[in-house]
Chain A
């Protein structure tokens, strides 16, 4: 088990290096714009541009640049400095992380609970009105892009531009430390919109998985033992859990991508919004920093899922 975890962690580090290389190739080698020119302000002299290029190390061979970058990232957690504002990327991200964590964790909780709950109810009352309504809604939500759902939600329910003025609209986010209630209300719509797609996928998967396990022989055994139906269902849910946990790991990536769109639509000052602005400004070090952060989250989440999976299913524990 320990060996397994260590192997997985080493793989995770290797993956991170590969992600670094990929972002490096995409953003530094493919021509997109000269960062030194952007840093230099209006009407720069060629000397100023050359000086900035030297400071940023843009003149060095690409391999050296990449090596320097890797060293900084892995040894000093130094993600470099924004070409645009000159601020450290690490502190730019750290400033915005709480907003993104608020958004994603809330949405993840909502989608897991909502998806599981609806999926279980649907499975146990198969073909009922509730089941049909839930699965129909799920199909719509799976198909609808999040940014569109976000805009629709704003147009319907936002306090400023909404048809029914219920929830705070775009740009109303405040940190939880300054006003918890405002923090909470401002995130209600983003949470629901971000959770909707994944919740729908979860509900459908949970339903299918549970319907399958409730047909298993061991569920018949549980009933034949005379267990109360609640306990019988619990045993079914326990087995239905494994594919759901696997999906949970895979959906983390979707969650982060969705968070970027939601932060832009709802104007939440999070890491996604930071990445979005950086993209528009060709601010490579910021882009690299955010991509690396996202990649790290996905990798860590999947390692956690793999370990959880081994814990949940004794049959995979020793292989």
Chain B
């Protein structure tokens, strides 16, 4: 499967927005690919550019005055340069998207069934009755009980989980080949989150589509993703198969993400370690490695050198953009995993090996 041409291949994508304070570098040269039937998880804090890159895939940042460069190859066509009308034919048809807050993402004044039916009719030349029938069928497929009646209701009459199911149904009416899910479970209760993720996995198996799931929640990607790309300040800082990211993370930012989530199997006396500082400005991103102001292990020269996303020697599919030496990273992570704080880990690494 992986030898074949990927369904979606993003190459050196850059998205910039003009703003009153200066140019916002929302996406700063990212590359990734998604194969048929696979799931890519894009992880990062808010403002890391993960949503913008996905909206750009659908051409939805064009009208915001974004300047876009790079290539987004979908089934052989470059979506960056595709004329609007052809892009519209792909949106909601070959590539569908679901959003974080299903209440605000559904039109409050139209019945749910109608909103699904119009998605059908935007791409298929069918009668209203036929579109309506597929709308009801899809609502049933995503587990909404009594779909014919619920189709007549308005979004505010649905519960949060039901709304997200309706959103998913709406995304799937045209059987897309790629589904982009932007924080699909963030606005939902934990138990409902699990249901929605299970639903997406089931539908992926049944329909064979590829999924890009965007989230800040590592639990969600652990559950869903085959591959993971970690984004920071508009760049991908680490990408690998999902198990590798959890077992052998290479980037200090990924370490920070992993150490800042509460887990049940860690001893309670062990403190969570938040990443210090706040996400950087995308108008004036930090020089050199964008993460260096928040990185406990940064060296003075890291503020001058731009790290490249390069393969880890032992595993070519695992790529990381970090200026630390590979051996040292391994020692630091070993110390962190043993429950040390970043300062202790740094001291340990300094004793056992030479810092650059």
Q: Mark B171-184, 1 if CB is under 8 A from A, else 0.
A: 00000000000000
Among B35-43, B92-100, B262-270, B292-300, the one that faces the other chain is: B92-100
* Chain B residues, Cβ within 8 Å of A225: 91-92, 96, 118-119, 122, 170
Say yes or no: is B107 at the interface (Cβ < 8 Å to chain A): yes
* Chain A residues, Cβ within 8 Å of B109: 238-239, 312-314
What CA separation (Å) do A235 and B101 show in the bound complex?
19
Question: A218 touching B108 by the CB < 8 A rule?
Answer: yes
What CA separation (Å) do A315 and B111 show in the bound complex?
11
Question: A221 touching B106 by the CB < 8 A rule?
Answer: yes
Say yes or no: is A86 at the interface (Cβ < 8 Å to chain B): no
Query: How many whole Å from B141's CB to the nearest CB in chain A?
Result: 18
Report how many residues on chain B are interfacial, defined by Cβ distance under 8 Å.
Answer: 28
What CA separation (Å) do A224 and B123 show in the bound complex?
12
Known: A225-B118, A227-B122, A314-B156. A216 touches B92 (CB 8 A): no
Say yes or no: is A61 at the interface (Cβ < 8 Å to chain B): no
Say yes or no: is B347 at the interface (Cβ < 8 Å to chain A): no
Query: How many whole Å from A239's CB to the nearest CB in chain B?
Result: 6
Question: B154 touching A315 by the CB < 8 A rule?
Answer: yes
Range class of the A interface residue count: 20 to 34
Known: A217-B105, A218-B106. A224 touches B154 (CB 8 A): no
Say yes or no: is A134 at the interface (Cβ < 8 Å to chain B): no
Question: B118 touching A227 by the CB < 8 A rule?
Answer: yes
Q: Which residue of B lies closest to A216 (CB)?
A: B104
Q: Mark A236-255, 1 if CB is under 8 A from B, else 0.
A: 00110000000000000000
Question: B92 touching A218 by the CB < 8 A rule?
Answer: no
B residues 62-119 with Cβ under 8 Å of A?
88-93, 96-97, 99, 101, 104-110, 118-119
Known: A225-B170, A226-B93, A231-B118. A220 touches B88 (CB 8 A): no
Q: Which residue of A lies closest to B87 (CB)?
A: A226
Question: B99 touching A217 by the CB < 8 A rule?
Answer: yes
Q: Which residue of A lies closest to B154 (CB)?
A: A314
Say yes or no: is A228 at the interface (Cβ < 8 Å to chain B): yes
Task: From B58, B92, B167, name the one whose CB has the most chain A CB atoms within 10 angstroms.
Answer: B92
Question: A226 touching B104 by the CB < 8 A rule?
Answer: no
* Chain A residues, Cβ within 8 Å of B275: none
A residues 199-245 with Cβ under 8 Å of B?
216-218, 220-228, 231, 235, 238-239
Say yes or no: is B60 at the interface (Cβ < 8 Å to chain A): yes
Question: B106 touching A226 by the CB < 8 A rule?
Answer: no
Query: How many whole Å from B178's CB to the nearest CB in chain A?
Result: 12
Query: How many whole Å from B75's CB to the nearest CB in chain A?
Result: 16
* Chain A residues, Cβ within 8 Å of B58: 223-224
* Chain A residues, Cβ within 8 Å of B110: 235, 238
What CA separation (Å) do A313 and B109 show in the bound complex?
6
* Cross-chain contact of B60 among A218, A224, A239 (Cβ < 8 A): A224
Task: From B89, B96, B122, name the one whose CB has the most chain A CB atoms within 10 angstroms.
Answer: B122
Question: A222 touching B107 by the CB < 8 A rule?
Answer: yes
Query: How many whole Å from A240's CB to the nearest CB in chain B?
Result: 11
Query: How many whole Å from A304's CB to the nearest CB in chain B?
Result: 19
* Chain A residues, Cβ within 8 Å of B108: 218, 239, 313-315
* Chain B residues, Cβ within 8 Å of A314: 108-109, 154, 156
* Chain B residues, Cβ within 8 Å of A218: 104-108
* Chain B residues, Cβ within 8 Å of A238: 107, 109-110
What CA separation (Å) do A92 and B109 show in the bound complex?
46
Known: A225-B122, A314-B156. A220 touches B107 (CB 8 A): no
Q: Mark A180-215, 1 if CB is under 8 A from B, else 0.
A: 000000000000000000000000000000000000
Q: Which residue of A lies closest to B155 (CB)?
A: A218
Q: Mark A108-139, 1 if CB is under 8 A from B, else 0.
A: 00000000000000000000000000000000
What CA separation (Å) do A252 and B170 show in the bound complex?
42
Question: B156 touching A228 by the CB < 8 A rule?
Answer: no
What CA separation (Å) do A313 and B167 show in the bound complex?
21
Q: Mark A289-319, 1 if CB is under 8 A from B, else 0.
A: 0000000000000000000000011110000
Q: Which residue of A lies closest to B103 (CB)?
A: A217
Question: A226 touching B89 by the CB < 8 A rule?
Answer: yes
Q: Mark B241-270, 1 if CB is under 8 A from A, else 0.
A: 000000000000000000000000000000
Query: How many whole Å from B50's CB to the nearest CB in chain A?
Result: 16
Question: A224 touching B92 by the CB < 8 A rule?
Answer: yes
Query: How many whole Å from B15's CB to the nearest CB in chain A?
Result: 16
Query: How many whole Å from B230's CB to the nearest CB in chain A?
Result: 25
Question: A226 touching B60 by the CB < 8 A rule?
Answer: no
Question: B107 touching A226 by the CB < 8 A rule?
Answer: no
* Cross-chain contact of A221 among B88, B93, B107, B123 (Cβ < 8 A): B107
A residues 236-278 with Cβ under 8 Å of B?
238-239
What CA separation (Å) do A225 and B88 show in the bound complex?
8
* Chain A residues, Cβ within 8 Å of B105: 217-218, 220-221
* Chain A residues, Cβ within 8 Å of B97: 224
What CA separation (Å) do A251 and B69 show in the bound complex?
50
Q: Which residues of A contact B (CB under 8 A)?
A: 216-218, 220-228, 231, 235, 238-239, 312-315
Q: 9 closest Cβ contacts across the A-B interface? A: A226-B92, A226-B91, A225-B92, A217-B104, A218-B107, A225-B119, A314-B154, A217-B105, A224-B97
Q: Which residues of B contact A (CB under 8 A)?
A: 55, 58, 60, 88-93, 96-97, 99, 101, 104-110, 118-119, 122-123, 154, 156, 167, 170
**Could you write out 27 A-B pairs with CB less than 8 Å apart?**
A216-B104, A217-B104, A217-B105, A218-B104, A218-B107, A223-B60, A223-B91, A224-B60, A224-B91, A224-B96, A224-B99, A226-B88, A226-B89, A226-B90, A226-B91, A226-B92, A226-B119, A226-B123, A227-B92, A227-B119, A228-B88, A239-B108, A312-B109, A314-B108, A314-B109, A315-B108, A315-B154
